[in-house]
Amino acid sequence: MSGNKNYYEILGVDKKATKEEIKKAYRKLAHKFHPDKKGGDDSRFKEVSEAYAVLSDDKNRAEYDSYGRTFGTGNNGFGDFDFSGFAQNFQDFDLGDIFGGGFGDIFGGGGVRTKRGRDISIDLELSFKESVFGTERKVLVTKQSTCSLCNGGGAESGSSYKTCPTCNGAKIIHDTKNTFFGTFTHQSVCSHCHGKGEVPEKKCKKCLGLGVVKEQSEISIKVPAGIENGEMIRMRGAGEAVSGGISGDLYARIHVKPHHIFKKQGSNIIMDMDIKVTDAILGGHYEIKTIEDTKIDIKIPQGTSHGDILRIKGKGIQVGSHKGDLLIKVRVKMPTKLSRKAKKLLSELQDEGI
């Protein structure tokens, strides 16, 4: 071991730590001590890198645990430590996480990601009827929007554009860093022209050349028929705008207020209906009002039992080309008070075995 170092103490892990725990500890320390970061420490960074390279390799870790050292042959600044396999182990990491998100293209070859505006989430409360038949709602949202005066161009009306002096029209900036692992080049969108490659001669007075402005916007949301409580409506591009990029999305979470009579079950509508004992035995007719506010006559068959379901075709929810049914759950209402005559008649029925 180099200088009798305790690699477990360096990474702050137990000797029985798993590979995942070792990796997690290294990620945290590498982020903290990387020399390119403010407050970084080059010697500590090399030390934790050395510890991770040994403990992340099964063979090296076994040798270290047995003999207190590894038996590599390379000469790389770590004494007896063999650093040759570390590059392979290091590929397991997202370097953007370790170095603060600025190394998306650290190994070269990748393109610069298009900027995207922030997504917005709102809550939308609907009545039961609105959820059944669908509706259109207009909401006011305060957000970053494309400037209506310059249409997002950032220039005053009639003003011309010139090549961005920061990126010379390239739209991106190349930032080269020399690190312990070598020289890495990071590409980022030019913050001056926001990836457009040109800037206006005269900036828009409303957005000050940014192309976006924070303001209150009216958004129309189409709610489809049959939407369920808790569902989400996604409106692409209705979120916050960003200069030189694409707008985020707007998500509307639906909250359906319960109805005092009706409930939903898929494309069907369910309701309860109370009937008299005599109508359950002999049959009868009841008039109800549907969710569409139309009155219909319901026939109660003879011998209907408590809990039976009566189905009315086509009086449910329209979902595409299919329309559900109205399901009526029968509740036989028992009388709480009986006249002498009623008791006598029921006694006679009881004698008949009914």
pLDDT in tens, the chain (354 residues): 444 678 999 999 998 899 889 989 998 888 888 877 777 888 888 888 888 888 888 888 887 887 665 544 343 434 444 444 443 444 344 444 444 444 433 333 445 567 889 999 999 999 999 999 999 999 999 999 998 888 888 888 878 888 888 888 888 887 777 665 566 667 777 877 777 788 888 888 888 888 899 999 999 999 998 899 999 999 999 999 988 788 999 999 999 999 999 999 888 999 999 999 989 999 999 999 999 889 999 999 999 999 999 999 999 998 878 889 999 999 999 888 888 898 888 888 888 877
Partnered with residue 38 across adjacent β-strands are: none
For the domain 263-351, what is the CATH superfamily, name and number? Answer: Urease metallochaperone UreE, N-terminal domain (2.60.260.20)
Q: Please give the full DSSP string across 172-185, using - where no structure is assigned.
A: EEEEEEEETTEEEE
pLDDT 10s digits, 203-232: 888 888 888 999 999 999 999 988 999 999
Q: CB neighbours of 136 closer than 8 A, spacing ≥ 6?
A: 220, 221, 222, 223
Give the type of residue at 16.
Answer: K
Our CA dihedral for 12, 18, 23, 26, rounded to 10 degrees, sits at 10
Are the folds of 2-98 and 120-256 the same?
no
For the domain 2-98, what is the CATH superfamily, name and number? Answer: DnaJ domain (1.10.287.110)
The CA distance from 29 to 91, in Å, is 17
Q: What CATH number labels 120-256? A: 2.60.260.20
Distances (CA, A) of 180 to 43, 72, 87, 190: 10, 20, 12, 27
Residue boundaries of the structural domains of the chain? 2-98, 120-256, 263-351
